[in-house]
C-alpha cells in the first residue's frame, strides 16, 4: 500500500511536468509539421525525406498524447462511439506509417455491435498504442488480427493479436509500469496510459503471450457507463 502511494505521488508529479512540457512542445511541433507539408507540396518529386519528417513529427505528437494523459484529471464525458469505425480509423492511420507494407491487417468484427459509451479519442489512443506495439514486435513484418464482438449482451470485447517476438514470462507483470521498456527508443508509457484509459472506461485488459510466437491483448468494455440497460 505504501509503495502504491509513492507510485501515485510520483505519477502526479510526472503528470504535472508532462502537462506543462507537453503543451509547450505541441505548438512548435504543429507549425513544424505545417511547414514540412508545405515544402513537400512545393517539391513533390525530390525524395522521401519530407514523408519521413512528417512521420517522425507524428511520432513525437503521439508521445505527447501519452504524456498529456498522465496529467489529466479523470473527469470524463462519455459519448456514443462506434467500435468498428474506431478500429478502421486506427488501422488506416497506422497503415500510412507502414510505407513498405510489411504488415497485413486482418479484421473480424461482428456487425451487430451497438454504439458504446466511450471517449472516442481515448479509445483510438489505446488502439494506436497496442497496434504500434504489435508492429514493433514484428520487425520483419507479419499479420495483425483485430477482432471485436459482443459479450453477455452488456459488453463489447476486442482483441489485437500479433505474430511477434512475444513477452518474456518474467516481464509480464512489468509491462504496464511507467517507463518500463525493452526497446532501444521506447518510452515505456504506452501500456500505462492504455491501462488507465481502459480503467477509466470501467473495462478490463489482459495480455497473453508466448515467446517467439506472438501476443494477444484482450479488452472488454461495458456498452453503457451507467449500468442501466
Ligand atoms: P514501449 O512500446 O515504449 O516500450 P509500452 O508501454 O507500449 O512501451 O510497452 C512496454 C513493453 O511491453 C515493451 O517495451 C515490450 O517489451 C512489451 N510489449 C508490449 N506489447 C508487446 C507486444 N505486442 N509484443 C511484444 N512485447 C510487447
Ligand atoms: Mg508502446
Distance (Å) from CA 134 to ligand 1 centroid? 8
Query: 229 pLDDT exceeds 50?
Result: no
Contact 167 CB / ligand 1 (< 6 Å): yes
Q: Higher model confidence: residue 10 or residue 204? A: 204
| Exposed/middle/buried for residue 76 (C-beta within 10 Å: 0-12, 13-18, 19+) | middle
- For the segment 153-170, what is each residue's pLDDT rounded down to a tens digit? 999 999 999 999 999 999
Question: Does residue 145's CB lie within 6 angstroms of at least one atom of ligand 1?
Answer: no
123 lines ligand 1 (CB under 6 A): no
CA of 189 to the centre of ligand 2 (A): 7
Sorted by sequence, the CB contacts under 8 Å of residue 16 that are 6+ apart come out as 71
User: In this predicted model, what pLDDT tens digit does every residue of 187-210 receive, in sequence order?
Assistant: 999 999 999 999 999 999 999 999
What pLDDT does residue 222 have? 96
Half-sphere exposure of 25 (CA within 13 A, CB side): 17
Amino acid at each position: 500500500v505504501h509503495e502504491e502511494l509513492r507510485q501515485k505521488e510520483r505519477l502526479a508529479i510526472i503528470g504535472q511536468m508532462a502537462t506543462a512540457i507537453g503543451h509547450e512542445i505541441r505548438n512548435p511541433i504543429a507549425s513544424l509539421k505545417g511547414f514540412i507539408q508545405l515544402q513537400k507540396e512545393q517539391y513533390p518529386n525530390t525524395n522521401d525525406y519530407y514523408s519521413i519528417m512528417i512521420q517522425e513529427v507524428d511520432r513525437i505528437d503521439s508521445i505527447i498524447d501519452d504524456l498529456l494523459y498522465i496529467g489529466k484529471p479523470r473527469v470524463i464525458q462519455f459519448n456514443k462511439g462506434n467500435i468498428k469505425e474506431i478500429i478502421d480509423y486506427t488501422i488506416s492511420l497506422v497503415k500510412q506509417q507502414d510505407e513498405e507494407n510489411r504488415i497485413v491487417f486482418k479484421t473480424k468484427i461482428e456487425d451487430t455491435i451497438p454504439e458504446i459509451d466511450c471517449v472516442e479519442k481515448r479509445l483510438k489512443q489505446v488502439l494506436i498504442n497496442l497496434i504500434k506495439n504489435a508492429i514493433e514486435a514484428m520487425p520483419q513484418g507479419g499479420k495483425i488480427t483485430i477482432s471485436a464482438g459482443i459479450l453477455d449482451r452488456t459488453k463489447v470485447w476486442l482483441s489485437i493479436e500479433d505474430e511477434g517476438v512475444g513477452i518474456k514470462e518474467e516481464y509480464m507483470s512489468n509491462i504496464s509500469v511507467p517507463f518500463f521498456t525493452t526497446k532501444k527508443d521506447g518510452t515505456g508509457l504506452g501500456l500505462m496510459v492504455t491501462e488507465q484509459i481502459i480503467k477509466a472506461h470501467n473495462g478490463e485488459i489482459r495480455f497473453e503471450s508466448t515467446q517467439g510466437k506472438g501476443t494477444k491483448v484482450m479488452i472488454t468494455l461495458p456498452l453503457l457507463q451507467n449500468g442501466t440497460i
